[in-house]
Structures are given as C-alpha cells and as structure tokens.
Amino acid sequence: MTARTLNLDDSLYQYLLDVSLRETPLLKRLRDETQALPMARWQVAPEQGQFLALLVKLTGARRALEVGTFTGYSALCMAAALPEDGSLICCDIPGDYNATARRYWQEAGLAQRIDLRLAPALETLAQLDQPGQFDLVFIDADKANYPSYLEHALRLLRVGGLAVFDNTLWSGRVLEDNPESADTRAIQALNLGLKDDLRVDLSLLPLGDGLTLCHKR
C-alpha cells in the first residue's frame, strides 16, 4: 500500500508496458514512424492511447471529438473503440503528417469513422453549433488555447460527457513562477480554474505528461 503515486523509473515503466499494453502491430508501426519525425514529442504515449480507448468504451461514447491529431495515433485508438455507427471529428491544421494519419486510418479500415477537419481548431469548434452533441472530447493541441478549448468542450459535451486534456503537468513547468511561455501560463490557468469549477467532476492523472479528466455535470 502507498499513500501517494509512485515515481516510475525506466524499469518499472517498462514493466507497466510489458504487462498491460495491448498495442496492435499497426499502432506500433505508426508510433515508430512518428518517432522519426522532428515533432515526435507531440506523440501521445502508447498507454495513453490505450487509456483513451478504454474511456470511449467506459462512457459508451458514440460521437467523439479530438482537438490536435498529428499523425493520428490517438484518433486511431479512439476510433477503433467506437461502435460501428460511431464517429470521430478530428481538428488539426494542414501539415505533411495529415497524410500519415489518413494512410493508417485507411489501412485499419476506420477511415469512414473519422472526419479530419483542417483549420485552426477554434474556427472548427465555433462551426460546431449543436450543444451537447459529443460524448467525449480529447484535447491535445496548442496549449495557449486550452482555457478556450475547455469552454467549447463544455458547450459541445452532453451532460455526463467527458473532456480529457493532455500535457497538464507540462514536464513540471507548471511549477514555474511567472513563466514567460504563454503555453505554460495557459496550462497553469486551466489547472487552477478547474480545481474549483463546479461544472465538472475532476481528476488529474500522472499518465504521460499529465492527463486531466473532466466529467460534465
């Protein structure tokens, strides 16, 4: 028993993966290809992808939304967990990695479930005008807009829906006093605001770079 979360050294983290990760060969190939890119740090950890898939199933999600898609690993995890009539809207900006995402979604036989919309995410979110239309929203995009993404997520989620934010521990930079980075300031503001936000039930998990779950009341 322990009264606080364990720190995972490399050996214990590898054990975690060895006994729990159910990554398909296709996902592993996508992850490896992504790691060769200059922006590889944008990639979610494989255990995060698996956890997102579990959240889709636990919430019974049929309609999901992702803000920040990159090469499509997390989208592929979530889309595979959706029911056959489920759908996932992905928001990202144009980039060479869009083609990688589409190629793997097609190979997985899931391209028909995923609608990739290429524009600044705030523009795409503003065009989604049906409140409560989503069951789950995963946010892993430009951090400076995290507080704005929260407001859109709460508007677009049904009561009982789940908003999930990645990078909310921000490699420890959330501890900085008077940070120069707008991204760091925005994550700090999000975390502090959520602490007392009565619109949601809240948990910040030390998974990956910090994963915050917000259950809409």
Domain of 100 in residue numbering reads as 10-216
Domain membership of residue 4 (yes or no) is no
Domain membership of residue 5 (yes or no) is no
Q: Which stretches of the chain score pLDDT less than 70?
A: 1
Alpha-carbon distances, residue 87 vs 10, 106, 209, 213 (angstroms): 36, 15, 27, 21
Domain membership of residue 48 (yes or no) is yes
| 167 and 187 Cβ atoms separated by less than 8 Å | yes
What is the pLDDT at residue 2? 81
What is the pLDDT at residue 82? 98
Number of domains in the chain: 1
**Tens digits of residue pLDDT in 115-168:** 999 999 999 999 999 999 999 999 999 999 999 999 999 999 999 999 999 999
Domain membership of residue 1 (yes or no) is no
Domain membership of residue 138 (yes or no) is yes
User: What is the pTM for the complete model shown?
Assistant: 0.97
- CATH assignment of the domain containing 196: 3.40.50.150
Domain membership of residue 3 (yes or no) is no
What is the pLDDT at residue 111? 98
Domain membership of residue 40 (yes or no) is yes
Buried b (16+ CB within 10 A) or exposed e, 192-211: eebeeeeebeeebeebbbbb
Domain membership of residue 103 (yes or no) is yes
